[in-house]
């Protein structure tokens, strides 16, 4: 085959990508999953089944793609050699483990693609893959191309919707690639979403959507909950947003925009125009789905794409309580908000609202990232802030 790709992961996104790519002529798909017994299980299923991707297009029409990845393994020695693209399609907390696993077998001229990379992907990739990374490209998509979910492990996955476009950053490295990296990835994904290259990688990091969940969690469960079981069931997440939660999110987004403006001030030649307020981002990206875009609260409450989505909850002694182990905190704080805070700190921008939320979340996680308003807690290494990898100046960030 002309192109060989490796999909890292074994969840919703990994199944979808593996299924779509394996149906393309001249594309060989391998899957590397390190989690539990996923590799053995999926491998066994593949012996007598094809993988079905059941698609609902945005216009309501449906289709099915049937295909078979070449192999599913937990052994990087089998998975990595000869590969052209390595996709990370797994939650950000699992990335480090994959970087370590692929490192001994990684060759030059490979495209390393975070799909999505989430905030801090480049910092972690560059620090972990030191020896080869300058001969590889690092690409970071702002989100997963689809809303998708696994219906039956190894057998069937469903695409519920396609993103229209995806901001994607690219650090080219000095490798030689079969096609320009974005073009190659677009070929694998198909027509939609359209990958749009950002001017610099910091913009994708600053525009990480992981800023959305923590302010809402904080507003709901720190400021507006008496600690009693939830007798009325799980509350709506987006459609339940109140003035306080919307204001918190708006302030966090202001801090992101301030950070971008400060970077722009220090380095006027950089184009930071892609960093915009979350309210503007919602109204642009969900134009057809929002029925009242008069303010951020209403834009979230009336966004059809969020119909019925609930706060994560769990049962404790038979009672319903909020679930703080869900990725809205465990992933979106150390691999999201803290990364953005780290970039802000490097350029000297104050972030009082982010600090308040991180301070609350770190107590829940039993970690210490912030001390007061400074990122110098003992558990900083468990985050993907630039500081965790030794980046201390804007110069260092821009020279990656
Ligand atoms: P997922 O929730 O399906 O990922 C589960 C997989 O992660 C497992 O199958 C396993 O392979 C791995 N995993 C889980 N726990 C692990 C552990 N303790 N150690 C190592 N590996 C472990 O994730 P999904 O839905 O594929 O999402 C991937 C990324 O895309 C995430 O960052 C998510 O936030 C983002 N995303 C997902 C969307 C969706 O529709 N599924 C939409 C937009 C973004």
Question: Could you give the ipTM of this predicted complex?
Answer: 0.99
Q: For residue 299, how far is its CA from the centre of ligand 1 (angstroms)?
A: 27
Ligand 1 atom 1: residue of nearest CA: 11
The DSSP bridge pattern shows strands 146-152 and 156-162 to be: antiparallel
Lowest mean pLDDT among 214-218, 281-285, 315-319, 379-383: 281-285
Specify whether the CB–CB gap between 355 and 261 falls below 8 A.
no
For ligand 1, pick from 13, 151, 157, 286 the residue to mutate: most ligand atoms within 8 Å of CB: 13
Ligand 1 atom 32: residue of nearest CA: 91
Q: List the beta strands (DSSP E) in the chain.
A: 3-8, 27-32, 51-56, 62-67, 71-73, 85-88, 111-114, 137-141, 146-152, 156-162, 165-171, 194-197, 313-316, 319-322
Q: For residue 93, how far is its CA from the centre of ligand 1 (angstroms)?
A: 9
pTM score of the predicted model: 0.94
pLDDT digits (tens, 9 = 90+) for 298-331: 999 999 888 889 999 999 999 999 999 999 999 9
Q: Which residues are catalytic?
A: 213
The mean pLDDT value of the chain amounts to: 96
In this prediction, residue 399 carries a pLDDT of 86
Rounded CA-CA distance 13/116 in Å is: 9
Rounded CA-CA distance 334/228 in Å is: 27
Torsion of CA 183, 185, 190, 192, to 10 degrees: -90
Show Cβ contacts of residue 161 under 8 Å, excluding neighbours closer than 6 positions. 56, 58, 146, 147, 305
For ligand 1, pick from 90, 167, 339 the residue to mutate: most ligand atoms within 8 Å of CB: 90
pLDDT digits (tens, 9 = 90+) for 211-243: 999 999 999 999 999 999 999 999 999 999 999
Q: For residue 7, how far is its CA from the centre of ligand 1 (angstroms)?
A: 12
Pocket of ligand 1 (CB under 6 A): 9-14, 33, 35, 38, 89-92, 94, 97, 116, 118, 143-144, 147-148
Q: Which two tokens stand for residue 372?
A: 């007061």
Ligand 1 atom 41: residue of nearest CA: 148
Ligand 1 atom 33: residue of nearest CA: 91
């Amino acid at each position: 085959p002309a192109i060989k790709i490796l999909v890292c992961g074994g969840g919703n996104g990994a199944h979808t990508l593996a299924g779509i790519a394996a149906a393309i002529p001249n594309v060989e798909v391998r899957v590397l999953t390190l989690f539990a017994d996923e590799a053995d299980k999926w491998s066994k299923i593949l012996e007598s089944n094809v993988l079905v991707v059941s698609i609902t297009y945005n216009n309501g029409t449906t289709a099915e793609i049937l295909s078979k990845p070449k192999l599913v393994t937990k052994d990087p020695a089998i998975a990595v050699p000869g590969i052209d693209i390595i996709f990370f399609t797994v939650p950000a907390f699992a990335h480090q483990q994959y970087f370590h696993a692929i490192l001994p077998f990684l060759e030059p001229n490979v495209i390393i693609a975070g799909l999505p990379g989430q905030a801090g992907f480049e910092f972690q990739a560059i620090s972990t893959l030191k020896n080869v990374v300058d001969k590889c490209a690092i690409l970071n998509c702002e989100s997963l191309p689809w809303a998708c979910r696994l219906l039956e492990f190894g057998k069937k996955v469903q695409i519920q919707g396609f993103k229209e476009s995806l901001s994607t950053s690219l650090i080219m490295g000095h490798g030689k690639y079969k096609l320009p990296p974005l073009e190659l990835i677009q070929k694998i994904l198909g027509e939609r979403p359209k990958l749009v290259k950002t001017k610099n990688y910091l913009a994708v990091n600053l525009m990480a959507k992981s800023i959305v969940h923590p302010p809402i969690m904080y507003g709901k469960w720190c400021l507006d909950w008496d600690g009693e079981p939830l007798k009325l069931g799980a509350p709506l997440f987006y459609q339940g947003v109140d003035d306080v939660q919307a204001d918190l999110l708006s302030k966090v987004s202001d801090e992101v925009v301030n950070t971008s403006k400060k970077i722009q001030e220090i380095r006027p030649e950089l184009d930071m125009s892609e960093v915009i307020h979350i309210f503007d981002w919602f109204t642009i990206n969900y134009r057809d789905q929002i029925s009242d875009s008069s303010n951020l609260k209403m834009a979230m409450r009336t966004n059809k794409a969020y119909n019925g989505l609930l706060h994560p909850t769990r049962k404790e002694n038979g009672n319903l309580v909020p679930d703080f182990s869900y990725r809205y905190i465990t992933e979106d704080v150390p691999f999201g908000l803290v990364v953005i805070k780290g970039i802000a700190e490097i350029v000297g921008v104050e972030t009082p609202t982010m600090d308040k939320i991180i301070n609350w979340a770190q107590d829940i996680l039993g970690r210490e990232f912030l001390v007061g308003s400074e990122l110098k807690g003992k558990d900083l290494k468990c985050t993907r802030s630039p500081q965790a990898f030794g980046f201390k100046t804007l110069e260092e960030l821009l020279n990656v």
